Amino acid sequence: MEKMPIVNLLEQTRQLSESGQRVRVLWQHPDTLVFIARGREYRSEFHINPSDETMYMIKGEMRLHYRTPEGKEEVAVIPEGAMIYTPAGTPHSPRFAADAFALISERKRRESETDRFHWYCQKCDALLHEETFTVKDYADDPVSKAYDKFFGSKEFRTCRCGEVMAVPESL
């Protein structure tokens, strides 16, 4: 029988905060992936996950920006101690402070699946850029890699309307 881990979430958030890292994977197996995420105050992209996802706010409040099937941006507010379910394929952008923590549960990616990250123009709402990743190990932090690629290119951040998305200071 495989070991059944017991995790002290408050201790894990303290260690994550002290490490300066943004993600701590608690476990990942073929059908499950669970990790703690520390807020990225600069987050602006919409993540399109190939699996269903739940987010539980351990500490702080999350403003989950998401895009409806019609492409309209809406916001769900998840207070501390509350949880939200996000269906697979829903473009979503979890925005919360660096001193806030969420417990994320989803399915580990299958071989043929990719994660997508979309950025939209803040002026005209046109799609600026898409990054895609095949995620074999979530501990590799695909969100940070997507941000590095996107903000490392002025071309990616420049819209047809002429607007250029600024690089966040805290990146």
Question: What is the residue extent of each domain of the chain?
Answer: 9-157
Instruction: Over range 73-101, report the average pLDDT.
Output: 97
Q: Tokens 């905060």 label which residue?
A: 17
CATH architecture of 9-157: Sandwich (2.60)
Query: 140 φ, ψ to 5°?
Result: -75, -5
167 pLDDT higher than 80: yes
**What is the residue-averaged pLDDT of the chain?**
92
To the nearest whole percent, how much of the chain has pLDDT over 70?
A: 99
The answer for residues whose C-beta is within 8 angstroms of residue 120's C-beta and 6 or more apart is: 46, 73, 126, 127, 128
What is the rounded distance in angstroms from the CA atom of residue 87 to the CA atom of residue 74? 15
User: Which amino acid, residue 132?
Assistant: T
Please tell me the predicted confidence (pLDDT) of residue 100.
96
Angstrom distance (rounded) from CA 167 to CA 171:
8
Mean pLDDT in residue range 35-41: 91
pLDDT of residue 86 exceeding 70: yes
pTM attached to this predicted model: 0.89
Q: Does position 42 have pLDDT exceeding 90, yes or no?
A: no
Q: How far is CA 135 from its chain centroid?
A: 13
How is residue 147 written in tokens? 């941000």
